[in-house]
A and B are shown apart, each in its own frame.
Chain A
Amino acid sequence: MTTPTPNKRPAFEPAARLLTPTGYHPDMPRPASTVAGVVLVLLRVAAGVVVLAALAAGWDALVASADVKIEGFDPTPEGQRLALWVVLSVGAALLAVEALLAILILRGHNWPRVFVMLIAVFSISSAFTAWWMLGEEITLEGTFVSLSLDILVLLALSSRSAAAYARRNERG
């Protein structure tokens, strides 16, 4: 019978060691990073609700100030109402999907975590491109809050503990 002895290791760790799976731990308790990530995603949903409410409140002024003619758009009051409902329902549907993803992440699924991180990466990359290439300013009144939410979501959900929790049922 041979008992496993500790490995002899090289003086530096190979970078591939970073790619070893997190391990099979089906009873792992939910880490704080997962909860933090879910709370941040829900904060983004809340921010979206505020934006939709502001849009609905200032809709008439917004439509009046827009001087772009859209093909097939009915400039009567009924048409404007209809357009508002379309915008609100599409926005609400997107927010509902996001809230659903948050709940799935909380329950420990991996794919919604990866999906939300992917969206955050796209959003951060586009903001960074606009800032770096086009010199677009990121101010507190503007995109700073949504950008920081995106980055914090990414930080929380990409942490090793959140990854290990989402992959706790994967066998290596």
Chain B
Amino acid sequence: MSTDEGPKRRTRYSIGIAIDWFFFVFAGLAAIWLAYLSFTESFQVGWWGILFALGFWLLLAYLVLPRLHRILTAIYVPDYFIGRARTSDGLLGDPVNLAFLGGEDQIERVMAAAGWTRADAVTLVSSWHIVSSTLARRSYHEAPVSPLFLFGRQQDFAYQQEVDGNPAQRHHVRFWRCPDDWLLPGGRRVDWVAAGTFDTSVGLSLFTLQVTHKIDADTDVERDHIVATVTAADPRITVDVIEDFSTGYHARNGGGDSITTDGDLPIVDVRAVAGASR
């Protein structure tokens, strides 16, 4: 099928990578065994069993299930555009519900004017900042958002808005630059696609049992909120809507939250806005 890369493709498999995959899968199986052992052991050690049960959950949620999902989704989830971002475990994530035309600096300028804050990248410093601001009950406007993947890449950047100092709730939208010459299904050319969702609370993910943000099932509300704030910020911005773009995509996100949408895809054109430095 994919003849584009011709003979080069054949040389791209290596024994070293095959060895890596052996260890990857072996470790996944060993982790299942370890989870089983710590589960049965938790009945043997009295009150320490609570600690063991906690360890069992940590193992299951953060090591075993992600690895199983990673192995399985690499095989069964198609890697082309299906209107959904994917989590780092390969599960389906937030729906792509916005598109943008324009440069990064123009989007930056517009989002800042519309009252959005750019999210920090996930680093040790920003992680520590989350912990310390949560403990001190301070708000952290630039808190990082979790990585989601599209076109095989993490989001290029993300913007967010806090809700009254409530750390469990926030508006956020992730942006991915489209590959050159990539067209939306149906043939439109856009520069960026974005996924905007609203975090309603903190809960357990259905598929990995990890602590995560639950998103509002009606993703249209957040999409329309983003478009409304952006268009209000600058009169030169125009919006064109592809109706029923993703009507066929109702489903769950990677945390197991269900999603409903009317399927419209607004294309926000910010090209008329002067960039920060061009």
Number of A residues near B (Cβ < 8 Å) is: 44
Cβ of B76 under 8 Å from chain A: yes
Given A154-B27, A172-B12, decide whether A12 and B45 contact each other with a Cβ distance below 8 A: no
Chain B contacts of A10 at CB under 8 A? Answer: 1-2
Q: Place the interface of chain B in its size category.
A: 35 or more
CA distance A167 to B88 in the complex (A): 20
**Cβ contact within 8 Å between A17 and B74:** yes
Q: Is A158 an interface residue (CB 8 A)?
A: yes
Would you call B240 an interface residue if the criterion is a C-beta within 8 Å of the partner chain's C-beta atoms? Answer: no
A117 within 8 A of B: yes
- Of A18, A110, A139, A147, which is within 8 A of B16 by CB? A110
Bound-state Cα–Cα, A154 to B32, Å:
13
State the Cβ distance, B188 to closest chain A Cβ, in Å.
Answer: 15
Tell me which residues across on chain B come within 8 A of A144, comparing CB atoms: 37, 41
Residues on A with beta carbons closer than 8 Å to the beta carbon of B135: none
A3 contacts B by Cβ under 8 Å: yes
Tell yes or no: B75 within 8 A of A by CB.
Answer: yes
Question: Least Cβ distance of B128 to chain A in Å?
Answer: 13
Nearest CB in chain B to that of A161: its residue: B88
Instruction: Return the contact of A117 from the options B4, B13, B23, B33 (Cβ within 8 A).
Output: B23
- The answer to whether B78 and A12 have CB atoms under 8 Å apart is yes
A-B contact count (CB 8 A): 110
The smallest beta-carbon distance between B184 and chain A, in angstroms, is: 12
B 1-26 to A, binary, CB cutoff 8 A, 1 in contact else 0: 11010000000111011111101101
Chain A residues with Cβ below 8 Å from B114 are none
Task: Please tell me which stretch of B93-101, B175-183, B203-211, B229-237 contacts chain A, meaning at least 4 of its Cβ atoms lie within 8 angstroms of it.
Answer: B175-183
Using a CB-CB cutoff of 8 Å, which residues 56-77 of chain B contact chain A?
63, 67, 70, 74-77
Task: Report B-chain residues with C-beta under 8 Å of the C-beta of A124.
Answer: 26, 30
The yes or no answer to A4 lying at the interface (CB within 8 A) is yes
Within 8 A of B (CB), among A7-28: 7-13, 15-22
Cβ contact within 8 Å between B12 and A9: no
The residue that A9 contacts in the complex, of B1, B16, B17, B63, with Cβ under 8 A, is: B1
| Given known A19-B18, A147-B34, contact A155–B63 (CB-CB < 8 A) | yes
**B79 interface residue per 8 A CB criterion:** yes
Please, how many angstroms separate the alpha-carbon atoms of A31 and B5 in the complex? 30
The yes or no answer to A43 lying at the interface (CB within 8 A) is no
Q: Are the C-beta atoms of B13 and A20 separated by less than 8 Å?
A: yes
- Which of B20, B74, B181 has a CB less than 8 Å from the CB of A158? B20
What residues of chain A have their CB less than 8 Å away from a CB belonging to chain B?
3-13, 15-22, 110, 114, 117, 121, 124, 128, 138-140, 144, 147-148, 150-152, 154-155, 157-160, 163, 167, 170, 172
17 contacts between A and B (CB under 8 A): A5-B4, A6-B80, A7-B2, A8-B2, A9-B1, A9-B79, A12-B75, A19-B13, A21-B12, A114-B19, A128-B33, A140-B48, A148-B38, A151-B33, A158-B20, A163-B20, A170-B16
